[in-house]
Amino acid sequence: MSTPREFAPGLVIQDITPPLRLADFRLIAFDMDSTLINIECVDEIADAAGRKEEVAAITEAAMRGEITDYKDSLRRRVKLLEGVTVAEMEQVFTERLQLNPGAAELVAACKAAGLKTLLVSGGFTFFTDRIRDRLGIDYTRSNVLEIRSGPNCGELTGRMVDQEWGDICDGEEKRKMLLETCALLGIPAQQAIAVGDGANDLPMMAVAGLSVAYHAKPKVREQAKVAINSGGLDRLLEVLA
């Protein structure tokens, strides 16, 4: 890669010459936690169990790329959520979760330019389905938290539910889902944009035509073609005419 240069205050680019045309792309894929939204949902759920500090430390290490086995790190975190109720998760959604600045504006601009939208998250369907519906996202992939039935119904078991595509949406699954969606749309991956902030976003960012780091970990900023280090997600539109 070329040496990164500051295109505008808080906006760094490398290996591209703006302005690019947004309409030349056909798909934009987003991570959710700390990208489209302001929180790491697993950390906030853990707060209800009095285990936020422990879970957040694992999350931070995973996002920085210091834990290489993302699936194991997520299983460890989810196990610590056992006993949290659906009502407490509802509280996280209504009281703590907000869209990041510029998220709605960027999604709307992409849709207006004819792009399809994809949400791929190492988080949970409890939240991704609602963000999908709020923003009108076309495709999603994320993890399902297992909820007890019978005695103690409505509580998390500390496990996740396997899905038809696999067990956990990790970095490799994000890459696979981006490529599968490109194939579904009949486009090359070069016509896809991938936006994320953590190490588990790097596999999908590596295959996309344009990779975007949003307030990201150092390892991610270094490898992205666009790094938004200040301001909202819609700052990407400064690079895409």
Any idea which residues carry the catalytic annotation? 31, 33
Angle at 9 between CA 209 and CA 235, to 5 degrees: 45
DSSP three-state, residue 139: strand
Residue-wise DSSP of 41-71: HHHHHHHHTT-HHHHHHHHHHHHTT--S-HH
In order of 38, 40, 78, 149, 205, the CA distances from 158 in angstroms are 24, 17, 5, 13, 30
Residue recorded with tokens 């936690």: 33
- Host H or E run for residue 165: none
Q: Which residue from 170, 163, 161 is spatially nearest to 204, judged by alpha carbons?
A: 170
**What number of residues does the chain have?**
241
Strands 11-13 and 226-228, how do they pair?
antiparallel
